[in-house]
Structure 1
Amino acid sequence: MVIALLGFSAGLPFLLVFSTLTAWLRDVGVERTAIGFFAWIGITYSIKVFWAPVVDRLALPGLGKVLGQRRSWILLGQLGIAAGLLLMSTLDPTQSLAMIALAALLVAFSSSTQDVALDAFRIESAEDTLQGAMSAAYIFGYRLALLMAGAGALFIAEWSNWPLAYVSMAALMGIGVLALLWADEPAHQTREQRDADEFDMVDRIMGCEMHMAARPRWQRRLIGAVICPFLEFFQRNGRFALIMLLFIAVFRLSDITMGIMANPFYLDLGYSKSDIASVAKIFGFFMTIFGSALCGLLVVRFGIMRPLLLGAVMVAATNLLFALLAMAGSETTPSLSWLALVISADNLSGGIASTAFVAYLSSLANKHYTATQYALFSSLMTLPGKFISGFSGWVVDSWGYPEFFTLAALLGVPAVLLVLVLMRHQQQSATSAALRS
């Protein structure tokens, strides 16, 4: 329950600086090219690996003693999110577009900081055998928050106005604060235990005596917080670690690239904000939950790699359905049933892909370096897609929606190919382990 509620806290701000924000901007007449560049605010989530070592190692003064290291950082992120959303609610995009961007940047930075601490909290709170269940609980809360930040904000904007929608979302961050106060701080290694492990590991990796204990404190902290997490990951996985990181970088290229233009696309087709909220958000939410549950069953039955492959194929293929919807809407607004069909396929594939992917990433992190290593994975997961999606508005304005969604589908092909490479490597590793035993 705690992980689900904290997942809600993690998911709430994402759409408010992503697709819900683009709906607000398009609704008041901001050009699509400018809207596309707002995707670069999301790069904040992709570079959190640079401050993850600080979150991983540094306890906040005062607050850290009361709540513990993980919970204090989560609370700081939650308060920053609420403050940024309240600031956005006071601004008019037609008059203060740059200030809207800065306020959204505050939300994204606070949210990504919360994510770093929360990922570590989640992974450290349960054994490896329970990470699938923790992932499912987290994604359920996360998706529920996406429902509120998507459908909820659109309904409020339709019935009242956009500023009230953002004030309401800021108030909902209180759910995460209450869950945090309810939670228990997970157990950590003591500094002495961690230092001893790191000294041994550094000597083993370097192949020589580094005399870590005799080094100045700043050197020990730099090596332990920044260098050791990356050294440990590459030592454990060898050269194949580069293939794993490449796969993480391209897995979500397709859906992130198209996501920034989804709400402007629906509005340009002629659907109302209520239509988008009821079909694309509420109906899509239940399809995502179904996809997540189905993925859980598939993982139990087939392991994690086959559901990953299925999710990668489905995510790329559903973009072609959006291209068909765009062509059908070139003359008149397609029926809501057409929209529901496309949304069903998109969210079903997203539920399968995201559940399998989060479980896969969680399995890669060493519990000594959970915050830093998981931040590396999640940063790579979003950075290429966020960068490319910044040009999405320009592509739509230059070529059109059908061509844009077809291009987004093609961006999903590398992920499919790399899943096959990972599956082959896993089979070879299992065979080698069996022969050695």
Structure 2
Amino acid sequence: MLEKLKNTQFNFIFLGISAAMPSFALGIPFGLWLLSAGVDKQTLGLVTVSSIIVALNFFWSPFINRIKLPVFYSFLGLRRSWILISQISLGALLLLLSVLDPNQNLAIVVVVACLIYFFSSVQDIALDAYRVEYDQYFDAENLATIYQIGYKVGAFLIGAQVYGIIGAENWQAIYLYLGLLMFFLTSITFLSMRVKEANLSESSFDQFFSAFKNLLKKDNVIILLLLVGIYKISDIVLGPMAAALYAEVGLDNAEYLQKKSYFNFIATFVGSGLALWTIKKFQIEMTMFVGALLVVSTNMFFSYLYLFPSYLNFISINFLDTIAQAFTAVCFITYLVGQVDRRYTAIQYAFLASLVIVPGTLLKGTSGFLTDSMGFYNFFLLMGLIGAPSIGLSYLLIKGLSFNLQNNLKIAAVILIMGVFTFSLFEYQELKTVLNDKYIHFFVYSVLSFLVLAASQSLKRILLFIGLISLGVFTELLQNVSGLRNFEYMDIIANSLGILVGFLIFSIIEKTLKIPD
């Protein structure tokens, strides 16, 4: 009976919940807790930089990949013994948070948060390696999907339960509940199957260097590492200011947070299911590209939420954002699993997972300062824009990570289109007193149309022309919807003239140089 219970892939739902508990505990609840205690946005942004500890986990991953814990190893194996130790430690630290008051002990709260991040990183190292090696029993993409569903259960369904039963103000009770839940999840670790683990003869330090040497031998490794490093950067930088936004516009009450969590839980299934279908239908490369587009789009929606903070917008935008997060998480986990050598599973996966976190974590310390200087509206638009390079590199992934002139032009065109779209929606002060903005519209759209033509010679030019004209009209309509800027026909005319000039210049150069179609 016990063996039948162990022979399942659905244990990763509960292991996903375990992985999500630290992130949830130090996410929206943590931010709202500190804000309610009088901590300002700038300090909140700086405090969240402590999560850099998770990003440094590859430094201690060789030890977790090799050291066999006495007694625990005999019963559980290497991976599960480390998972169990981290779960016990996290449970104790969450219970400790439940008795602290940030008004009196902010420094201690930050230290405890750092320790939670550390043991969370230990759990992540062991759990990621365990999931990768578990594919000896089940398909990797299925495990990634089930794990992601479990992760979102921890982030949203447990969150809804917390907000619904306890409320959004009783922070001590929230952390008491989360600590006890973490102790309960240790039972799943005991019930999970043991996997076949690599038994290397190298020392921990030799493993560390061998793992990196092996990784750096991959083709186009620089582009690969760049893609991993920037793929989720906009999501990470945006994170701390989501709680600040909810508090700013009055969307931080317990009822709203509870309902958001329930809807986000449903969105997790939608996003994970779509990702799994897309991977099987179009392969992982196309799925990564679609995921990058989704992240950028949904991050920008938070600017709209700031302008129109209704309950419907709050639920809808978070629902779409969660679909994007679940989608990208499944495809990214699947992609990373395909990049690691099974001899160095824990080390290489930990390094790649850390590389996902490091750039965004370093930048998110500035999120409070950016929000104070430019406002919530411009900040969330900017968060969409900084995801543009991930779209470009994801496109390269489809092309086999091949850098050539045509691919580079397409990437530049995509980034410029996103830049034009984003800055057209920005709220500016006194722009017209410095320079007539019609000249700017004309020049930018001239350059844009020329670049788009050079990058997309295989497409019909009439379609490109209509697309660029539509971009100019659409941005003017959105400016009117925002109420921060006016709809101006002269801007559309300037955009259109710029597009025509760009087309003419390209046609002249094409005929002069006899560029083939």
Q: Scaled by the length of structure 1, what TM-score is found?
A: 0.86
The structure whose RCO (Cα within 8 Å, separation 6+) is larger is 1
Deviates more, 1:46-55 or 1:359-368: 359-368
Give the CA deviation at 1:135: 0.5
1:299 corresponds to 2:279:
yes
1:228 corresponds to 2:210:
yes
Kept in 2, the 8 Å contact 1:7–1:141? The answer is yes
1:395 corresponds to 2:348:
no
Three-state SS of the structure 2 residue aligned to 1:260 is: helix
- For residues 274-304 of structure 1, the C-alpha deviation after alignment (integer angstroms, 9 at most, x for no partner) is 2442343221221122111111111111111
Q: 1:410 to 1:160 in 2, by over 3 A?
A: closer
CA distance in 1, matches of 2:169, 2:391: 44
CA distance in 1, matches of 2:215, 2:54: 21
Which structure is larger by alpha-carbon Rg, 1 or 2?
Answer: 2
CA distance in 2, matches of 1:121, 1:375: 12
Unaligned 5+ segments in structure 1 are 196-219, 329-333, 429-437
Give the CA deviation at 1:138: 0.8
The correspondence for 2:95, drawn from 86, 89, 94, is 86
- Which residue of structure 2 lines up, in the alignment, with residue 277 of structure 1? 257
CA distance in 2, matches of 1:46, 1:272: 29
After superposition, residues 5-20 of structure 1 pair within 5 angstroms as 5-20=14-29
The letter for the 1-side match of 2:236 is I
CA distance in 2, matches of 1:135, 1:66: 26
The percent identity for this pair of structures is: 30
Kept in 1, the 8 Å contact 2:168–2:253? The answer is no
- Which residue of structure 1 lines up, in the alignment, with residue 431 of structure 2? none
Kept in 1, the 8 Å contact 2:94–2:179? The answer is yes
CA distance in 2, matches of 1:345, 1:160: 27
Three-state SS of the structure 2 residue aligned to 1:261 is: helix
Kept in 1, the 8 Å contact 2:292–2:387? The answer is yes
CA distance in 2, matches of 1:251, 1:323: 21
The correspondence for 2:342, drawn from 362, 367, 371, is 367
- Which residue of structure 1 lines up, in the alignment, with residue 411 of structure 2? none
Give the CA deviation at 1:427: 8.4
- Which residue of structure 1 lines up, in the alignment, with residue 108 of structure 2? 99
After superposition, residues 262-341 of structure 1 pair within 5 angstroms as 262-328=242-308, 334-341=309-316
The correspondence for 1:24, drawn from 17, 28, 33, is 33
The letter for the 1-side match of 2:272 is S
- Which residue of structure 2 lines up, in the alignment, with residue 417 of structure 1? 392
After superposition, residues 155-170 of structure 1 pair within 5 angstroms as 155-158=164-167, 161-170=170-179
Kept in 1, the 8 Å contact 2:306–2:377? The answer is yes
The correspondence for 1:250, drawn from 230, 234, 242, is 230
Give the CA deviation at 1:44: 1.2
Give the CA deviation at 1:48: 0.2
- For residues 62-120 of structure 1, the C-alpha deviation after alignment (integer angstroms, 9 at most, x for no partner) is 32223211111111110111111111111111111111111111111111101101111
- For residues 42-71 of structure 1, the C-alpha deviation after alignment (integer angstroms, 9 at most, x for no partner) is 111100000001000111123222321111
- Which residue of structure 2 lines up, in the alignment, with residue 209 of structure 1? none
Three-state SS of the structure 1 residue aligned to 2:139 is: helix
RMSD: 1.8
How many residues are matched?
Answer: 394
CA distance in 1, matches of 2:155, 2:126: 20
- Which residue of structure 1 lines up, in the alignment, with residue 75 of structure 2? 66
- Which residue of structure 2 lines up, in the alignment, with residue 124 of structure 1? 133
The letter for the 1-side match of 2:47 is F
